[in-house]
Amino acid sequence: MKKTSFLKTAIPVILFACSCNNINFSSEEINNNTPPQTRGIINQGYHSLGTSYDITCDYLDIDATKFPVVDIDAFLKDNPNSYVQNPTTHSQTIISAGADAEEYSQSIATNYEINSDMKLFISWNNKFKSDLLTRHEYSSKYSYARGDVTKRVKRIYLNATPEMLQNYLYPEFIRDLTIKTPDEFVQTYGTHVLLDISIGGRIQFNYRSTIFETSNAVDKKRIVEAGVKFTIGIFGADFSNSYTQQEVITSNQKNATWNTEIEFFGGENSGTTFSYNAESGITGSTFNLSSWENSVNDKNATIIQINWDMAFPIYDFIADQTKKAAIKAAIEKYLKNETITVVEVKPLYRMYSSKWRNTFFTSSLAEFNYYTQQGYTPDYGQYHYIQGYIFEKEQPGTVPLLRLYNSSKRNTFFTTSYQEADSYKQKGYYPDNAQTNYILGYVYKNSTSSNTIPIYRMYSSKASNTFITTNYNEAIYYLNNHGYVWDNGTTNRIQGYILESDL
């Protein structure tokens, strides 16, 4: 069966942010007084078969199914043998992971067998809010993983094409095509119609972490994948044999900070959500996987899989060619508006040499490792030497973070002003690590959101040391106890703002 492609131009996988269900993490179980919605939109007795679906939402999210489109009963009166059920049960665990949001998205698309046309346009909102200025921007600061533990009850599908179903659409669907603008229609109905789904129970493990030990994307993916597998193991579920148990334990420990949320869809625990983080830890669970699997049945089942060869663009169900073209254009605009970008960031490491009494900063892990061999040590504990994250390339509203060095004073100096850097060159300072590399990265000049923290600069004339910190309490401590003063006066002590480290 030939599918209709969304666009003719080949473009990379696009990430989409969606307001369907962004989650704020806490360390507590979420308990609601009202019964939770756990099954998605129901189309009479056919579960979510024949309903519309918003592809920009998190994959399989209950809010991704929108409205019934196909009147299946009416269609079956004329085509009685076109509704097919396969009651074969099946249990499996699917793991998706990526070093950043884009790779994570591609992993999900691959694992759930998105066909080539759809893979050009699909990505899944990853249940985590953006950490940058808009909900469409995600930094490379975080790595992501997801585990889906599923129990299939049955597969249901229609042996039909969109053209065959154009005469069996609900009157409300036809009405909304008339009274709503194309943009309003897409906002209401989404992008696709589902004609082949599997239903059952699903436990979704969402996992996000920061990883400082390596900057290698392959290693980061393996580490974050170990994090979600470790969590799944605590809840008694099995996962793929690509890792040994010891490899999972060892790699999991390299997730410096992490958040995880576990959601239950279908079965006796349906609607239950648990949230944990690195600070609270996972204290264990009395959850019985076998009991949950046995409780999943046709009455409490939800979507656990979509056959994307039978998930058609919603405009294919519209016979009127003018309206079809208008909805197609609206969907393309909708997807473009929901596109997110991954912005490259890197940790800002702080080190100190007691021999030279010099505070040193770098945004290069390789340089960090080199300086540890030269007698420098991570400053302020095992993890707090990560002051925050800076941008690898210039972004709107950012300025460069410059590093200079004075060999006679053995002092490393930092500034976000080219003018100030030029004045320090007259004082015997020179760009550190060559003229083209003394830019460590880029920082916001002004505070932009609650996710950013200031960089304070201080100086000790006795130690001939320039010191910067993102912790105000630490700055006050150095002022009161170590003879430091605000560098450039109290009004200029803040050099800029960087993304917080979560530590």
Report how far Cα 178 is from the mean position of its chain's Cα atoms.
37
DSSP strand E in 159-195: where? 192-194
Q: Taking Cα atoms as reference points, which of 245, 206, 251, 8 lies closest to residue 95? A: 206
Structure tokens that stand for 438 in this block = 């003394």
Tell me how many degrees the CA angle 275-277-278 measures, rounded to the nearest 5. Answer: 160
pLDDT digits (tens, 9 = 90+) for 447-475: 877 789 999 999 999 999 999 999 999 99
Between CA 138 and CA 22 the distance in angstroms is: 13
DSSP 3: P
Q: Where are the domains of the chain?
A: 15-342, 345-499
Burial class (CB in 10 A: 0-12, 13-18, 19+), 313: buried
Q: Taking Cα atoms as reference points, which of 362, 456, 446, 464 lies closest to residue 409? A: 464
Q: Residue 236's pLDDT is what?
A: 74
Say what percent of the chain tops pLDDT 70. Answer: 83
Mean pLDDT by 10 residues, the chain (503 residues): 41 40 36 41 86 91 93 97 96 94 89 65 55 74 95 98 98 97 97 97 94 94 94 76 74 91 87 85 76 93 95 97 98 86 93 94 94 92 80 95 95 95 95 82 90 94 94 93 88 89 80
Neighbour count for residue 166 (Cβ, 10 Å): 14
Rg, the chain, Cα only: 27
Contact 435, 393 (CB under 8 A): no
Residues 6+ apart with CB under 8 A from 211: 143, 219, 220, 223, 224, 254, 255, 256
Q: Residue 17's pLDDT is what?
A: 43
Say what percent of the chain tops pLDDT 90. Answer: 65
By three-state DSSP, how is residue 475 classified? helix
Structure tokens that stand for 15 in this block = 């990430």
Between CA 282 and CA 234 the distance in angstroms is: 8
pLDDT digits (tens, 9 = 90+) for 201-258: 999 999 999 999 899 999 999 999 999 999 998 887 765 556 677 888 888 999 999 9
Start-to-end Cα distance in the chain: 52
Cα distances (Å, whole numbers) of residue 94 to 202, 203, 261, 341, 474: 11, 11, 16, 25, 45
Between CA 401 and CA 439 the distance in angstroms is: 6
Between CA 23 and CA 18 the distance in angstroms is: 11
Q: What's the pTM?
A: 0.86
Q: Which amino acid is at 110?
A: T
Residues 6+ apart with CB under 8 A from 455: 387, 388, 401, 443, 468, 469, 470, 494, 495, 496, 497, 498
Between CA 325 and CA 331 the distance in angstroms is: 10
- Per this entry, what is the length of the chain? 503
Q: Residue 117's pLDDT is what?
A: 52
* Virtual torsion, Cα 475, 479, 484, 486, nearest 10 deg: 70
Cα distances (Å, whole numbers) of residue 208 to 17, 140, 289, 400, 471: 16, 12, 23, 29, 24
Q: Residue 220's pLDDT is what?
A: 97
DSSP 18: -
What is the biggest distance separating any 2 CA atoms in the chain, rounded to whole angstroms?
Answer: 92
Q: What value does the mean pLDDT of the chain take?
A: 86
By three-state DSSP, how is residue 109 classified? helix
